[in-house]
Amino acid sequence: MSQFKIATWNVNSLRVRLPHVEDWLKRNQPDVLALQETKLPDADFPIEAFHALGYEVVFSGQRTYNGVAIISRGKMTDVMTDIPLLQDPQRRVLWAMAGDICILNLYVPNGESVESEKYKYKLNWLHHLDLFLRAQLKKHQKIIILGDFNIAPSDLEVHDPKRWAGHVLCSAPERKAFQEMLVVGFEDCYRKLSPTEKGYSWWDYRLNAFQRNWGLRIDHILASSALAKSCTACFIDKGPRALERPSDHTPVVAVFE
DNA sequence: ATGGTTGCAACGCAA
């Protein structure tokens, strides 16, 4: 493999965003694209649209909420849709191998607010993810974790840190859980290549947040140490967020060579 | 910046 281009995009309904995704694939030609919030039951997944563009697909969906998919140029094997020991009816996890690289596509729970039961669910979910990652790192050298983490890892990833201080997506326990992933053996590709740049991947639909650049960087691509060495680029493509009827997230891309 | 918008699907829930 000379070059491997991988991207993540929370599309907030694949039914609505399929034209954007098709157009983006044609223009950007990634080897792998991980999607979150497809909001589609598996029976309704637009398999043919991706085959027509020369891509294989695997997906784990549900009606109305959540749903993840991996779009890949090459065949995928060893597909898993759940974190062991985490009984979760919500479809948020998709693991697959593409060649010798393990891909883990995540739609981490949002948490709603730090007072919410959903926040407890988020932290428990992240704890089980940590256990799973430790186990997988013992078996595999090359792992990429990517998706909507619903965590802004530091104040550098927040347009207005004072307004967000202590709130969900920015709270200390969430940031600790993210930091733990780096400690066990992953690197944040965007931060590795752009140590001080303020780039966001999500902007609220309300109050013209995108036009005002009131955003957060909550969509991430993490690479295991063995792979991170070969990451030559990682960038956020703001283009799709500026289209008519956009997702509230925009794609994040990483290149390995 | 404590209101506001989007998607789903049904007039509320999740983000």
Measured from the CB, is A160 under 7 Å from any atom of strand B?
yes
CA–CA separation, A199 and A120 (whole Å): 28
pLDDT in tens, A41-65: 999 999 999 999 999 999 999 999 9
Residue A1 has pLDDT above 70, yes or no: no
Q: What is the mean pLDDT of chain A?
A: 97
Count CB neighbours of A72 within 10 A. 22
A148 carries an active-site annotation? yes
| Mean pLDDT, range A139-158, rounded to an integer | 98
Count CB neighbours of A40 within 10 A. 22
Measured from the CB, is A44 under 7 Å from any atom of strand B?
no
Q: What is the pLDDT of residue A2?
A: 87
Tokens of A2: 């000379």
Given the residues A148, A188, A219, A248, the one annotated as active site: A148
State which nucleotides on strand B lie below 7 Å from a protein beta carbon.
Answer: 1-9, 14-15
Measured from the CB, is A134 under 7 Å from any atom of strand B?
no
| Mean pLDDT, range A144-173, rounded to an integer | 97
Measured from the CB, is A235 under 7 Å from any atom of strand B?
no
Question: Is the pTM of the predicted complex or chain greater than 0.85?
Answer: yes
A200 carries an active-site annotation? no
Q: What is the DSSP string of A94-148?
A: EEEEETTEEEEEEE----S-TTSHHHHHHHHHHHHHHHHHHHHHHH-S-EEEEEE
Helices and strands of chain A, counted as H and E runs: 7, 14
Q: How far is the CA of A167 from the C1' of B11 (A)?
A: 30
Q: How far is the CA of A239 from the C1' of B10 (A)?
A: 33
What secondary structure letter does DSSP report for A229? T
Any idea which nucleotide's C1' is nearest the CA of A41?
B8
